[in-house]
Chains A and B, each alone.
Chain A
Amino acid sequence: MSDIDIRKVLQEELNNIAPEIDLAGLDPAADLREAMDIDSMDFLNFITAVHHRLNIDIPEIDYPKLITLDGAITYIAAKLGSRKT
């Protein structure tokens, strides 16, 4: 899965969490919790959705790596990459 595909999946799941937010205007380096006004419950739902959608394990200790869109893409790409090898 390419970074572009991962970004698309993440944006779809973020859109499910906060449909009223304009994701096109979201800074990919911004803290999602602040930029989208999402709380720990929303974030947990986002992690849960990504977990199911891509079938990857995301331990709680890794949450800080997923708080920006760019960070999440890097993290997931590495997870998917390591699964192939």
Chain B
Amino acid sequence: MVDFRMPSLGADMEAGTLVEWLVKPGDWVKRGDVVAVVETQKGAIEIETYQAGQIEKILVDLHTKVPVGTALAQIRTEAEAKPGVAAAPAAPAVAPAPVAPPSPPPVAPSTAAGAHVSPAARRLAEQRGVDLATVTGSGPGGAITYADVERRLAAAVAAPPPEKKRAPSLDLDAMRTAIAAAMARSKREIPHYYLEHQVDVTACEQWLTQKNATLPPDSRVLIGALAIKAVALAARRFPAFNGFYRDNKFEPSQAVHVGVAIAIRGGGLTAPALHDADQLPIDELMSGMRDLVQRTRAGRIRSSEMADPTITVSSLGERGVEALYGIIYPPQVAIVGFGKVVLRPWIVDGGAVGPRSVVSLTLSGDHRVSDGHAGALFLAEIGKLMQEPGKL
């Protein structure tokens, strides 16, 4: 038996309120399934399980606030559950639930599609006029989750126009409190140093123009995706900028999970992880970034996305800012900033002056872990990678 615990929710967020169970005792889950939703200062976060097996018992009632690390449910591993019987993940439970859930079952049959639908997904579908029969479920046993309805909305195909919508369920005051705590801690504890590097991104612009001309809008790529990929590849080569500073020592990360700074209209900010950004082909990275931004602005981030970023990338270029000097999100050790792409006179091949698209690339580094010299090499590497966008 394994405890399914409240995961870490990022810096300075030590508790969350359980608002939705997407499973019930007897359900089968596989690694990566979203099984619960927790309300935090940064909005609702979908909690994934890293243990495959069968839900044995729900331990925490809805609307209960619990600290990080609290056991939320018990999961029987595949080996423990029904010895001798093939434990097909996501198969319907055949045994009676050993323990009744302490709250009404979180999933209910859909009259429209016959599939299971979470209450939050059903509410969203009703609010936005989405026919649940047209939604593909990705939850345990094919259950339709809130995120599935959001994806259906994002596809924007033939959905009846909503009469009335509400703003995303994000508590911007609570988010401001979380930002204040994390940033104040950063400025108290992290000795920042700051560097700026000018990069010619004309090659990126030309490459994108050519690529996007042949693609439908769904598949087009933004320059931000190239920037994230270049940072991720450079972070792999320069590990002193990728990882966590904890207990007075630096722990470099084997994986590169780029935190993407996403502004929330009305005054919020969060930076969830784009996992393994260095490994993703650019089209997949763009698709992942698009999904991440949409879910974040709808107030639906996953627990792993909150806790996993190993380095952050931020951009304020679209608002006219030419250079930004970010504050590191602890326990990370670096944040890279991208400013506005501006047309500048530039020395080109042969010493002539020509118009080029130039961006100010900045680094805020943790001086406990790295020095400006290494930071300069890191920035130069990002700039170099952006000269060959086709290889990103």
Residues on A lying within 8 angstroms of B by beta carbon are: 8, 12-13, 15-16, 18-21, 33, 37, 39-41, 44-45, 47-49, 51-53, 57-61
**A48 in contact with B167 (CB, 8 Å):** no
With A19-B167, A44-B217 in contact, is A52–B222 under 8 Å at CB? no
**A60 in contact with B220 (CB, 8 Å):** yes
B293 at the interface (CB under 8 A from A): yes
B151 at the interface (CB under 8 A from A): no
B83 at the interface (CB under 8 A from A): no
Q: Name the A residues within 8 Å of B156 (CB-CB).
A: 13, 16, 48-49, 52-53
Question: In the bound complex, how far is the Cα of B168 from the Cα of A7, in angstroms?
Answer: 24
Chain A to chain B: the 8 pairs with minimum beta-carbon distance, closest first: A49-B156, A20-B167, A48-B217, A19-B165, A12-B161, A47-B217, A60-B212, A51-B217
Q: Among the listed B153, B213, B216, B318, which residue makes an inter-chain contact with A40, where contact means beta carbons less than 8 Å apart?
A: B318
With A20-B266, A41-B222, A48-B156 in contact, is A15–B213 under 8 Å at CB? no
Chain B minimum-CB-distance residue to A49: B156
**A60 in contact with B168 (CB, 8 Å):** no
**A45 in contact with B154 (CB, 8 Å):** yes
**B318 in contact with A39 (CB, 8 Å):** yes
Encoded as 1 (CB less than 8 Å from any A CB) or 0, chain B from 138 to 178 comes to 00000000000000011111100110011110000000000
Summed over the interface, the residue pairs from A and B with CB atoms below 8 Å come to a total of: 63
Question: In the bound complex, how far is the Cα of B161 from the Cα of A60, in angstroms?
Answer: 26
Can you add 8 more A-B contacts, CB < 8 Å, to A16-B153, A45-B294?
A: A33-B318, A41-B224, A44-B222, A47-B217, A51-B217, A52-B155, A52-B157, A60-B212
Encoded as 1 (CB less than 8 Å from any A CB) or 0, chain B from 70 to 90 comes to 000000000000000000000
**A37 in contact with B217 (CB, 8 Å):** no
Q: Jot down 16 A-B pairs with beta carbons below 8 A, ordered by A.
A: A15-B162, A15-B165, A20-B167, A37-B265, A39-B263, A40-B224, A41-B293, A44-B222, A44-B290, A45-B294, A48-B156, A48-B218, A51-B216, A52-B155, A53-B156, A57-B216
Question: In the bound complex, how far is the Cα of B289 from the Cα of A39, in angstroms?
Answer: 13
**A60 in contact with B213 (CB, 8 Å):** yes
Q: How far is the CB of A47 from chain B (nearest CB, A)?
A: 5
Q: Name the A residues within 8 Å of B266 (CB-CB).
A: 20
- Chain A CB within 10 Å, residue with most, of B217, B263, B294: B217
Q: How far is the CB of B258 from chain A (nearest CB, A)?
A: 15
Question: In the bound complex, how far is the Cα of B222 from the Cα of A61, in angstroms?
Answer: 14
**A44 in contact with B155 (CB, 8 Å):** no
B198 at the interface (CB under 8 A from A): no
Question: In the bound complex, how far is the Cα of B220 from the Cα of A48, in angstroms?
Answer: 10
**B161 in contact with A59 (CB, 8 Å):** no
Question: In the bound complex, how far is the Cα of B165 from the Cα of A13, in angstroms?
Answer: 12
Q: Name the A residues within 8 Å of B212 (CB-CB).
A: 60
With A44-B222, A48-B218, A60-B212 in contact, is A18–B265 under 8 Å at CB? yes
Question: In the bound complex, how far is the Cα of B165 from the Cα of A15, in angstroms?
Answer: 8
**A19 in contact with B168 (CB, 8 Å):** yes
Q: How far is the CB of A72 from chain B (nearest CB, A)?
A: 14
Q: Name the A residues within 8 Å of B294 (CB-CB).
A: 45
B209 at the interface (CB under 8 A from A): yes
Question: In the bound complex, how far is the Cα of B317 from the Cα of A40, in angstroms?
Answer: 10
Question: In the bound complex, how far is the Cα of B121 from the Cα of A32, in angstroms?
Answer: 30
Encoded as 1 (CB less than 8 Å from any A CB) or 0, chain B from 208 to 226 comes to 0100110011101010100
